[in-house]
Amino acid sequence: MAAATRGPRRELAELGAWQRPLRAQFPIVAGAGGDGGDGSGPPRAAYLDSAATAQKPQPVLDAVTAYLTTANANAGRGSYPWANHTTARVEAARERVKAFLGDPDPRRSSVHFTGGTSEGLRAVARDWLPGLLADGDEIVVPFGDHRANLDPWLEARDLLARQGVGISVRALPCQEGSGDYDPAALAAMAGPRLRFVAATHVHHVYGADMNVHRIREAVGPDPVICLDAAQSVGHQPVSLAGLDVDFLVFSGHKALALPGTGAVWARGARGPAFVPGGWQGTPNTAGIVSLAAALDWLDAAGTDRIGRWTSALASVLTDGLSRMPAYEVLGCRTSLAADTAVQRRGSIVTFRHRAIGSQDLGFVLFSHGFMVRCDDHCQAGPGPEGGSVRVSLHVYNTLEEMENLLTALATLQ
């Protein structure tokens, strides 16, 4: 953890010459725009909501324009040049996803394109999971993460129950308040009836890296592990080789690709092969082109440095907030600068004001030019009353934005 030893400001100073030209490639944050397109926002507003969806660099926009203006057609259907070209682009994008994720066995795995993580997790739950499970089996899923990683598993249980197959759904154990999983408690749940574990790579509220590489060791070689990587892919290095999971599901639109993009990667080594059910209509070809371009851009920029940059910014914010008694940072309270073995805070910092509701705080922050998320962030289970404010960062955010945000927050003490 570089920032833990060097300190976040030094880390940011060292990476500044790398980051500035990258930020300049995002027209919406670096250009003259940023006012909502209709004058509804303050000029040069800071976009601090990349966990919801990320902004797009010019090369991704260019790739989409080039595709739509030279070869737009349907994929896997026609045999004329534009159609063949489109089919080849879609197939190449599948291999691009595998390479980006460091797939150790790309000949056996498969990639299915979706509109985002919710659709991907639901496809696994609806089209694949029922074929794995028999009466009396158990699955373990997170009850405190994003609803997208809970509802589909409960729906699968209900579907199976209607077919006379009773499975039990147990909560993935986690440590109080932090969101971090508890591998010892999980190991105690392992057994021959435990067939499937769903987990989240980086928590979308607490920003915690959930130590998911420990899950395989805890449950043993047999259960299938499905990872929600919505907040890690595109934000930090993600390598399948080190994770030992069977499904990895992510949102392309959070990884700099167009809205309505995402993918399910399936290892294909345990249980039935993943084949999405039903008739698959026309794919989002422009979106898939944008995803391949986004992964190229991220690899060239370096996901390691992107992760270091955003973690250092998050550390500055967390440290500043922890010096203001009016605010409470949710989840892991220590920043990378203070070194923590249990959790690593990525690009997300969520906090609340002890006296001001999150909606009011969000309104005030927007009047200062900050676009943040303020509600319960689609978290399953009860969150803090009044919601919370989430600041989520990407490569285009700056130290100046963090300092200005802290200054604005300090006026509300």
Contacts of 248 (CB under 8 A, 6+ apart): 101, 226, 227, 229, 233, 238, 240, 264, 265
Residue 8 or 116: which CB sits closer to ligand PMP? 116
Burial class of 281 by CB neighbour count within 10 A (0 to 12, 13 to 18, 19+): exposed
Q: Nearest-CB residue to ligand PMP?
A: 116
Residues binding ligand PMP (CB under 6 A): 51-52, 116-118, 146, 148-149, 200, 204, 228, 230-231, 251, 262, 378
**54 or 93: whose CB is closer to ligand PMP?**
54
CB of 263 vs ligand PMP, minimal distance in Å:
11
Give the tokens for residue 193: 């009836």
Query: Contact, 169 vs 139, CB < 8 A?
Result: yes
- Could you tell me the smallest distance in angstroms from the CB atom of residue 209 to ligand PMP? 12
Q: Which is nearer to ligand PMP, 315 or 379 (CB)?
A: 379
Q: Which residues contact 262 (CB under 8 A, 6 or more apart)?
A: 113, 114, 115, 116, 117, 119, 120, 249, 250, 251, 252, 253
Q: Which is nearer to ligand PMP, 52 or 406 (CB)?
A: 52
CA 391 to CA 409: how far, in whole Å? 12
Cβ closest to ligand PMP, residue 89 vs residue 204: 204
- In order of 157, 195, 259, 271, 311, the CA distances from 163 in angstroms are 10, 19, 36, 20, 47
Task: Give least dist CB 193 to ligand PMP, A.
Answer: 27
Please say which residue, 262 or 387, places its beta carbon nearer to ligand PMP: 262
C-alpha span between 72 and 80 (Å, rounded) = 12
Report the residue number, 22 or 148, with the smaller CB distance to ligand PMP. 148
DSSP class of 173: P
Distance in Å, CB of 279 to ligand PMP, minimum: 22
Report, in Å, the least distance between residue 298 CB and ligand PMP.
17
For the bound state, the minimum distance from the C-beta of residue 204 to ligand PMP, rounded and expressed in Å, comes to 3
Smallest gap from Cβ 228 to ligand PMP, in A, equals: 5
Phi and psi based region of residue 271 (left: phi greater than 0; alpha: psi -120 to 50; beta: remaining): left
